[in-house]
Chains A and B, each alone.
Chain A
Amino acid sequence: MEYFNTVFQEVYKILFLLVPVLISVAMIVWLDRRVWAFVQKRQGPNVVGPFGLLQSLADALKYIFKEIIIPSTSNKVIFILAPIVTMTLALISWAVIPFSATLVLADINVGILYLFAVSSLGVYGIIMGGWASNSKYPFLGAIRSAAQMVSYEVSIGVIIINVLLCVGSLNLNDIVEAQQNLWFIIPLFPMFVIFFISALAETNRPPFDLPEAEAELVAGYQTEYSGMMYAMFWLGEYANILLMCAMGAILFLGGWMSPIEIYPFTLVPGAIWLILKILLLFILFALVKAIVPRYRYDQLMRLGWKVFLPLSLIWVVLTSSYLFYFNLLPTN
């Protein structure tokens, strides 16, 4: 009986985490479109609800009532599995995000490795979708995205090593608490820039949205998808973007810490600070989408392997030698 009690408690906690995440994904889609529109001097979605806030819900409702078409030549099991995998992987990684020192679903020792592992699994949803569709454009899109995500993961991994050298722990709460005096964005600013760009590539956002480049590949791996399955891909993608923003906020912007440790600011709960930092990063994501033209594929690969990887490796050497020379290496 006790076992069931704990299970119910955990389920309750998970729901308390996931429902806000899903709602904020819907809101973030609206925000993305609004920012994009304002940069281009348009209005954006402004009809449904106040300021168009309910636009995403209306879209979701539309997707739910649409027919799901499964191509007859597709590999049906994998075709249906692909959006489920994308969505699940996008949601399970929120389990380790700390919203304050105590407000975290699973405070595991290897939190950052868990985040990295789950984000590296994200490529499977896309490959499965692209392959199972059994048509040319989805397959090309899947191949592109697999190569792209694997390449940029390498540099993200090396950037994480940079941060870990300064922290001395893989626990996300330890990473946040190590930034009490100085956010890592200040000493590691070049790494933050590279992390931001790699996160854009990792989540297939413009200017690196080559897997779904509509001018070349119709819609990439999503071409054959319709109705709710398409919406699940879409939700998973935006949940991944939010997750990458959260990761950036935790690694470089001090997570749930308030920016100034003085009286009125310390009253605000940590979750609010984390959400504000995530929003800041997301608005940057949206601005980049509106401003920058799409990369060519060979340029994308060159940027990942020939620029970011050597640069972040050199920075690892610099960071570790600095920490070693000045005896700042964390010991615990």
Chain B
Amino acid sequence: MIAHSIFFYTFSIIAIISAIMVTVSKNTVHSVFFLILDFISISCLFIMIGAEFLGMIMLIVYVGAVAVLFLFVVMMLNVAQQKNQWFASEASSKHIPVGLIISTIIFFELIIVIGGWKYKPDLFDINNTTNNFNVSNTHSLGQVLYTDYIHVFQLSGMILLVAMIGAIVLTFRKREGVKKQSYIKQISRERSEGVELLDVKTNKGVKIDD
């Protein structure tokens, strides 16, 4: 049990410190790397409480895909200078109060959620669910997700799909005058269309019209 708590505290301390470093560090790319470290230690914590499926999915989705895109954008935009301007210069310090207000709202929302949990114990009570503990984590998740919560599950899938299509529609622009290769056209070309044999007369040459 001691080993277990040593691991727990190691991972949670790493998670908290890296979460602080995300906001504190000057270089934005470093912030993203600390964010990744945070994700990884959180998924380690998930695995430690036995939610192995959730931990692995967290690694795959957040670290493997989302954070890569974050890193991509941050590296390309060179946000590092911008961030320094925001916090160092006088002119744009109006961002800080807005950020403070939003973070306070989120903080109170979290408190309200936890409070609501306390007054509705039958909603998320583990003892009430008829869980079979011999079944693996993934199985029990699937059994709940595709039976009791199927509508919620489908609905969140639809929301994600709409968000994805929306992102594509917002960023899509049709560019004129771009040369594109049509693979079907290229493959279906035949020798008779492309090559023509001509008798070349001396001192006259050939006239090619195209």
Contact = CB atoms under 8 A, between A and B. Distances in A.
Given A109-B138, A139-B75, 15 more contacts: A78-B29, A110-B56, A113-B53, A113-B56, A113-B57, A113-B60, A120-B63, A121-B63, A123-B68, A131-B29, A146-B71, A146-B72, A157-B60, A169-B136, A170-B53
A23 interface: no
Chain B interface size, under 10 / 10 to 19 / 20 to 34 / 35 or more: 20 to 34
Nearest to B67: A124
A326 interface: no
Given A113-B60, A150-B65, A108 B71 contact: no
Contacts of A192: none
B137 A109 contact: yes
Contacts of A243: none
A128 B137 CA distance: 34
B3 interface: yes
Interface in A36-87: 75, 78
A304 to B, nearest CB: 14
A153 B138 contact: no
A116 interface: yes
B64 interface: yes
With most chain A CB atoms within 10 A of its CB, the pick from B36, B64, B137 is B64
A109 B68 contact: no
A250 to B, nearest CB: 17
Contact of A117 (B3, B56, B72): B56
Contacts, number: 64
Contact of A127 (B57, B60, B68): B68
Contacts of B56: 110, 113-114, 116-117
Contact of B60 (A108, A116, A128, A170): A116
Contacts of A131: 29, 75
B168 to A, nearest CB: 12
A3 B52 contact: no
Given A3-B3, A110-B53, A113-B56, A170 B138 contact: yes
A210 B58 CA distance: 29
Contacts of A153: 64-65
Nearest to A78: B33
B25 to A, nearest CB: 12
10 contacts: A3-B2, A110-B138, A113-B57, A117-B63, A120-B59, A123-B64, A146-B71, A147-B72, A150-B68, A169-B136
A146 B68 contact: yes
Contacts of B33: 78, 128
A128 B65 CA distance: 15
Contacts of A150: 64-65, 68-69
Nearest to A108: B52
Contacts of A110: 52-53, 56, 137-138
Interface string A86-115: 000000000000000000000011100110
B137 A121 contact: no
A75 B29 CA distance: 11
Interface string B1-40: 0110000000000000000000000000100010010000
A170 B75 CA distance: 36
A17 interface: no
Contacts of B3: 3
Nearest to B52: A110
A22 interface: no
A113 B60 CA distance: 8
Nearest to A118: B59
